Structure 1
Amino acid sequence: MSLSFESILVQAPYSLARDDKHAMQLTRLRELTEHHYASCEPYRRMLDAQSFVPATLDNVASLPFLPVSLFKTLKLQSVPDSDIVKTMTSSGTTGQQVSRIYLDKATATHQQKTLVKIVSQFTGHGRLPLLIIDSPDVLKDRQQFSARGAGILGFSLFGSDRAWALDENMALNLPVIDAFLQKHQGKRILLFGFTFMVWQYFYQALKASGHPVDLSNALLIHGGGWKNLQDKAVTPAVFAKKLHDICALPAVHDYYGMVEQTGCIYMQCEHGHLHTSIFSEVIVRDPRDFSIVPHGQPGIIQVLSLLPESYPGHSLLTEDEGVILGEDDCLCGRKGKYFRVSGRLKKAELRGCSDTYAAQF
C-alpha cells in the first residue's frame, strides 16, 4: 500500500496513539527505504552488507540506521544532481568537517510544511510579529545554508513582521528592539534564537544595559546545543527563570533537531518534555550492542523521519545521549513518545548551533 506524504500532512501532529502511528510510519518508512535503496548506491551497499531487504521491513525498530557522521564523509543523495535545489550544511567549529544535505524541491517542501504543522501547535495559527535574536549577517549564501541560517529561515515563516535583535557585531540593538515592541504593542510576539546566543547576547547584554524591555506578551522558541550553558551551571529551568526575571517573558520552549532531518523537530511542551510527532520517532539504544533500552534508561538517540526523499536520512543514529520518559501519557495531552536529551556522547564533536558558535570564541 502506498502512502503519500500529503496524506500524512492532513493529520494533526500529535493525534495518533502508538499502534496507529506505528502502522502509518511503517508503511511510509518502508517506501522511503525502498526508494533510497534503489536510488543511492552507498546506501544500497550498506544495506546489502547487512543482508537487509527493504520490502521485508515489518517493524519500525528494525529499520537500519546510518551514523549521522556519515553525511560528513559520503555524498548521500537519492535524486539526480539536476534536481537539487539547495544544499544545507551542519554547524561546525573551525577544522571540523560538516554534513552536507542535498534537497530537492519535494523534500524542501516537506520540511517547510512539517515545521509549520508542528510549531503552529505552540504558536497558534496565523503569523506573529517575530523578533530574531541573531544578526542578519547569518543569512548570506541563499543556495548553501548553514544549520543556523536554515533554522532562522525556517522559523521566519511564522513572522508577519521581522526584526533582528542583534547587529552585525552581535551587539544588542536596543533602538530596533524598542521600535519593534512599540510598533506591536498589545500583540502577541514570537521570539526565536539559538540557546547560547539568547543567553549570551540577549539576556546577558540586556542585564548589563539596565534597559527595560517588556516581553510579557511574548513566546520564545530556542534550539541548539546546551553544553556551553551547562558548563556555566545554566539549566533549562534557570534559563527560563532568568529571562522571566529580566523581561517578564512568560513562555519558553526549547526544541531538539538537526540539519540532517530539518523540519522534523521535537518541541518541548509546557511540562518540559521533548515530543515526537506523527512525522518522527525516537528510539534509544544501548551503546554497547545497539539493542533497544527500556523507557527510563539512557542510551544513544536514534531519530526517524518521514520527510527525506532526496537523501537517505530517514533513520539516523545521533551522537546524543537521552532517555525516553513515556509514551501517549504526557500531562500536556500530546500523543507520542516524550523524552529528554542528556547531552553529547563522550568524544563526539560539538555540532549544535549554539555550541559551535560559542566554541569559536
Structure 2
Amino acid sequence: MTNPYHLTKAEKTPLLLEKLNVLTKFHVSQSTEYRSMIEKGGFQITANSLEEVPFLPVQLFKLLDLVSVPKEEVIKVLTSSGTTGQQVSKIYLDKETSIAQTRTLVEVMKPLLGAKRLPMIILDTKSILKDRKSFSARGAGILGFSNFGRKHFYALNDDMSLDVEGLKTYLEEYKGERILLFGFTFMIWQYVFKESIKQGIKLDFGDSILIHGGGWKKLKDEAVDSSVFNQLLHDQLGIREVHNYYGMVEQVGSIFVECSKGHLHTPQFADVIIRDTLTFEPLSHGRQGLIQVLSELPKSYPGHSLLTEDLGTIIGEDDCPCGWKGKYFTVAGRIPKAELRGCSDTFQGGARA
C-alpha cells in the first residue's frame, strides 16, 4: 500500500472531486430525502471544486433516516455518542461501505503502526461490543482499531474499574515489545489516568504507542490540552508516543490522524474545508470556522460531504514539517448549539417537503 499522505493538492483534488461527484449523483438517484434537500438547497449536482460539493449538516442524521441502499443490504448500524435522552445519529452501512472503511483505516494508520499486528491494550470495557449489529461510536472505534492488534486485553472491568492486576500481568508478558494502546480520550483520562493517581498506582507501559480520540470537551473544562495530556500520561503511565485523531461516526472513512508534529492531517481519500459560521462561505487558511468533512467512502448513505458542529483552523497544506502532504489542521471544539439550528431547520424543511 502507498502512503496515503503522499499526494499534493494538485494531484489529489481532481481525483477526490471526481469521486465525490459520482457519489452525489448516486445518492440523488437512490435517496428521495437527499434529492429533495439538494434541490431545495439549490446545489449543483456536479461540482467544479471541492468547495462546491453539496454538504449536509451532520445533525440531520439525528432527525432523519438517510440511506441509499435497500434496507436488506444494511449489515451494520452505527450510532453516535449521546447522553441519555439525547437523539443519536444512525448510520447505515452495507457490506461494500463497511469493507472500504476497514481497508481505509488500515491505510491511514500504516505510516504510524507499520504492517505488523502489535500486542494491544484497549483502554475500555469489553461489554461495549455486546451487540454486533448495532454499534455506538465507541464500539465502532474499538472494533475498527482492534484490527491492528493481537492478544487484545481490555483494561477496564464491566463496572469501569481498572483491572490493575490484569494490566501488570499483560505488561510483564510483553515487556520489550512495542505495545499498541487504543481508547477514547475522556475514558482514558477518567478511568485510567485519574484512577491510577487515586489508587497510587504507577504503571509503565514501556515501548507503547497510544491512539486516542473524542471527548476533549470535558478535558478542556479541566484546562487539559493535547500537550498536557501527553505529558501527564507519559509521567504517570510511561506511555512513549501519543497520537490523537479526529473523526465521527457520521462519516466513515474520515479519520484524521495527528502526525509527529501534533497536526491533524487529511489523507488522499478525505479532506476538510473551513466555513464561516454564519454565511458558510469557505475561509482561507489560518481562519477559524466550521469544519466540513469530505470522504470518498460513504456509499450506503449520503454522508460524503458533511458540515460538522466543530470549529477548526487549517494551518497549511503540503508543507507540514513532518513530511506528510495534504491539509493539516487543528480542532478547537464544538460550536454552541443555537448558532447552527437555522442551518439544520432549512435542510429538514427541504427533506419533508
Q: Could you tell me the TM-score, scaled by structure 1's length? A: 0.92
2:349 maps to what in 1?
A: none
Of 26, 35, 45 in structure 1, the residue corresponding to residue 26 of structure 2 is: 35
Partners of 1:264 and 1:318 in 2: CA distance: 12
Partners of 2:54 and 2:216 in 1: CA distance: 29
User: Which is worse superposed, 307-316 or 212-221?
Assistant: 212-221
2:12 maps to what in 1?
A: 21
Shift in Å, 1:347: 2.3
Of 120, 144, 158 in structure 2, the residue corresponding to residue 130 of structure 1 is: 120
2:224 maps to what in 1?
A: 234
Kept after mapping to 2: 8 A contact 1:319/1:348:
no
Unaligned runs of 5+ in 2: 340-353
2:289 maps to what in 1?
A: 299
Of 30, 37, 62 in structure 2, the residue corresponding to residue 72 of structure 1 is: 62
Partners of 2:23 and 2:211 in 1: CA distance: 30
Closer/same/farther in 2, CA of residues 51 and 347 from structure 1, 3 Å limit: closer
1:325 maps to what in 2?
A: 315
Amino acid at match of 1:45: S
1:173 maps to what in 2?
A: 163
Amino acid at match of 1:47: I
1:140 maps to what in 2?
A: 130
Amino acid at match of 2:230: A
Kept after mapping to 1: 8 A contact 2:273/2:282:
yes
1:282 maps to what in 2?
A: 272
1:117 aligns with 2:107: yes
Unaligned runs of 5+ in 1: 1-9, 350-361
Alignment of 1:1-361 (within 5 A): 11-54=2-45, 56-347=46-337
Specify the SS of the correspondent of 1:170: coil
2:344 maps to what in 1?
A: none
Shift in Å, 1:269: 1.0
Specify the SS of the correspondent of 1:303: strand
Shift in Å, 1:250: 1.4
Specify the SS of the correspondent of 2:228: helix
Shift in Å, 1:41: 0.6
Shift in Å, 1:267: 0.3
Cα deviation, 1:284-321, whole Å, max 9, x if unaligned, reads 00012111111000000000001001000000000000
Kept after mapping to 1: 8 A contact 2:252/2:298:
no
Partners of 2:271 and 2:87 in 1: CA distance: 27
Amino acid at match of 1:270: S
Shift in Å, 1:210: 2.5
Partners of 2:44 and 2:226 in 1: CA distance: 43
Cα deviation, 1:197-223, whole Å, max 9, x if unaligned, reads 111111111122233321230000110
Amino acid at match of 1:273: H
Amino acid at match of 1:22: T
Partners of 2:3 and 2:242 in 1: CA distance: 22
Closer/same/farther in 2, CA of residues 347 and 50 from structure 1, 3 Å limit: closer
Specify the SS of the correspondent of 2:66: coil
Cα deviation, 1:20-41, whole Å, max 9, x if unaligned, reads 1001101101111110010011
Amino acid at match of 1:16: L
Shift in Å, 1:122: 0.8
Closer/same/farther in 2, CA of residues 137 and 348 from structure 1, 3 Å limit: farther
Kept after mapping to 1: 8 A contact 2:254/2:294:
no
User: Which is worse superposed, 122-131 or 203-212?
Assistant: 203-212
Partners of 2:199 and 2:85 in 1: CA distance: 35
Residue identity over aligned pairs, in percent, reads: 52
Specify the SS of the correspondent of 2:250: helix
How many residues are treated as equivalent by the alignment?
Answer: 339
Partners of 2:196 and 2:271 in 1: CA distance: 38
